[in-house]
Amino acid sequence: MKRRDFIKAGAAAGAASLISQSASATKLINIFPDDKISPVVIASANGIEAVKKAYEIIATGNDALDGVIAGVNLVEDDPNDHSVGLGGLPNEDGVVELDSCCMHGPTHNAGAVAAIRNIRNPSKVARLVMERTDHVLIVGKGALRFARRHGFEEENLLTDETRKIWLHWKENISDKDDWFPPEEKEHNHSVLMNERLTGTINCNALDLKGNLSGVTTTSGLSYKIPGRVGDSPIIGAGLYVDNEIGACGSTGRGEENLKNLSSFMVVEFMRMGQSPEEACLSMCKRIVEHARARFLKDKNGNPNFNVKFYAINKMGEFGSAAIKGPFKYSVCDLEGARHKEGAFLMKNES
């Protein structure tokens, strides 16, 4: 994307402008060609349909938040994506509990729900928390009650497929309990059945007015202790937006993002001048430095978990990085929706 950079003294701040951090509000840096902004949407790899949908909405002049929420709703509604919404993997009791948050750059407002059951679109409820309450985060039964009061219908989010995956996990965790696996292998969900997943979708966008917003939504760590809340509904951990700087969200092991307030820090690295990709990599390094506990390390002393970041800055530059790769992420801009390779610190051994 070509940009014509100029500084205009004495002008008022406009939509396609960055106010310099060091200068007063009279210093304006225009960063877009002919004052025109090209929208950009970034998401995790499972968000290829989400970025397409979000881009369509944003490219016709709508707010970035409208775009990203409509985008992730497609994934929440998809029973074949086992990381989010309907068909998300359940907790250890076989009950699906969802976490989500959203953040709106222009108002610097945010909303979130955590451990909400029976509602397939927690991102819509998070938006209502932001827009229709004085709160930021509502959890558990309170979140469900709040959703019902706004007309959401309850449904069982465990599909027949995820029930079988859960049952396989339950029957195989111990040979000292009373649950036996079948002798014959009925079906093959090997990866999902043998690993505990922290799949999630994060989606962030820059709209035609130069405003940023983001959303993160997840069923969280599979087979978690009921009530466990990860990073996805925590502003600063699983998502952060500063409308003057950039937006970042994350997927992967939420506990490390909670301990490091990672998405906030990625935005701060961008504020310090790093590109989105550099900022994501800096955060990966920070997490690895802090992951000193033995239970976080493999036999070679490397992290035994992964975390991925998806970042976009006010100029529409974007980037993604993970502790372990290779991996892909989704993006949609003037060149269309596509997967791109993210940067990473080390090769995934598994």
* Catalytic residue positions, numbered: 200
Pairing of strands 336-341, 328-333: antiparallel
Rounded Cα gap, residues 101 and 126, in angstroms = 5
Q: Determine the interface stretch with ligand GLY among 175-183, 186-194, 215-223, 283-291 (rule: CB under 6 A).
A: 215-223
Please tell me whether residue 263 binds ligand GLY under the rule CB under 6 A: no
DSSP structural state of residue 303: B
Q: Residues 248, 236: contact at Cβ < 8 Å? A: no
244 three-state secondary structure: coil
Rounded Cα gap, residues 215 and 43, in angstroms = 10
Identify the residue among 76, 81, 97, 231 touching ligand GLY (CB under 6 A). Answer: 231
User: Minimum distance between the CB of residue 287 and ligand GLY, rounded to whole angstroms?
Assistant: 13
Phi first, then psi: give them for residue 325, nearest 5 degrees. Answer: -140, -170
In the complex with ligand GLY, which residue's Cβ is closer, 46 or 200?
Answer: 200
User: Minimum distance between the CB of residue 125 and ligand GLY, rounded to whole angstroms?
Assistant: 17
In the complex with ligand GLY, which residue's Cβ is closer, 30 or 260?
Answer: 260
Rounded Cα gap, residues 341 and 143, in angstroms = 37
Identify the residue among 121, 200, 260, 330 touching ligand GLY (CB under 6 A). Answer: 200
Q: Residues 240, 224: contact at Cβ < 8 Å? A: no
Please tell me whether residue 303 binds ligand GLY under the rule CB under 6 A: no
**Is residue 329 within a helix (H) or strand (E), and if so which, with residue range?**
strand 328-333
In the complex with ligand GLY, which residue's Cβ is closer, 211 or 218?
Answer: 218
Please tell me whether residue 204 binds ligand GLY under the rule CB under 6 A: no
In the complex with ligand GLY, which residue's Cβ is closer, 78 or 255?
Answer: 255
In the complex with ligand GLY, which residue's Cβ is closer, 258 or 345?
Answer: 258
DSSP structural state of residue 45: G
Please tell me whether residue 47 binds ligand GLY under the rule CB under 6 A: no
Identify the residue among 251, 282, 320, 330 touching ligand GLY (CB under 6 A). Answer: 251
User: Minimum distance between the CB of residue 252 and ligand GLY, rounded to whole angstroms?
Assistant: 6
Please tell me whether residue 221 binds ligand GLY under the rule CB under 6 A: yes
Helix, strand, coil % in the chain, rounded to nearest 5? 30, 25, 45
Handedness of CA 227, 231, 236, 240 (dihedral sign): negative
Give me the residues that bind ligand GLY (CB under 6 A), please: 198, 200, 218, 220-221, 230-232, 251-254
